Structure 1
Amino acid sequence: MAGCNAPSLVAGLVASHGLQLRRFLLARVRNVADVPDFIQEVYLRMLRVPDAASIRSPEAYLFTVAQHVVQQQALQSGPAGSPAQLMRMLDPAPSAHDANPELDASAQQCLEQLQKALDELHPKVRAAFILSRRDGLSFDEIAERMGVSRPMAKKYLTKALMRFRQSLAEQE
């Protein structure tokens, strides 16, 4: 990307990944009418990158910025967020295997904060979260595996997600 400036980088990304970005955001936001505003915010943040030539993977960087925009909106919307919204918020962004070192450090801090929050959870809450995210089990399957009711499994998972939201808010 030698000699690339932010406006040409963004123009290229709009042309090559505009539709993918729209789909990415549609899958993660509560109000579909907000998607154009989110897209605009993502591209504005990309335009503010001081050294666009230093971005080794513009596509990964684009989706990382988009994920941050979604997370900020979710955190600012307050505790009214649904568990489904929180689950989408925790979905991993597209691979950023060769992303900016500054982003890597930020992502590492975030992961450490979330790991700390996971370690602090009550064992049943932690188990429900792991069964959901790692093993991909439904509420019914989690309830059966843990020997609790479906509403209790859902409550455990909601507690875990709310703790993660709180942890991310504290980090901001």
Structure 2
Amino acid sequence: MTIGASDAPAGTQLDALYRDHHGWLQGWLRKRLGDRERAADLAQDTFLRLLVTRRMPELSEGRRYLAQIARNLVIDQWRRQRIEQAYLDTLAALPEPETPSLETHAMIIETLLQIDAMLDAMPSKVREAFMLAQFEGLGYAEIAERLQVSVSSVQKYMIRAIAACYQVLYAE
């Protein structure tokens, strides 16, 4: 339900939701994360997400709705940690003079996260075709054979993948 769809003002709805479920949500996150501080941060981020999106759940769906938002935030955080760790492992293998500045480091992490989100949003066949072309250097016929689809399907997949790349690069 969106803000304004209820008789209660949005601030009142959010206040009631926070008051009624914040403690429960923080405990729920603490059990899953094993870290009191991260649980507190993610509980706050969950309510912040509600505030920003301006979407309020039905009263009977409050906990389920909050848990879903929190679960998505945890997944996003794990994904970010995995990407950062892979990047740090790569950096550790570089000689000292080639280590990027902190600003460059932050820009690279942000770019990697955008690429990860872009790939994650693609349908599986589109993502697979794109990755086979980009990382294995396969041509469309080889990709079609590997995916057991027609070459014209691969062409369509690649158009969708390139459009997604364009969106990330130029739509923001």
TM-score, structure 2 length as denominator?
A: 0.41
TM-score, structure 1 length as denominator?
A: 0.41
Identify which of structures 1 and 2 has the higher relative contact order when contacts are C-alpha pairs closer than 8 Å and 6+ apart. Answer: 1
Larger Rg: 2
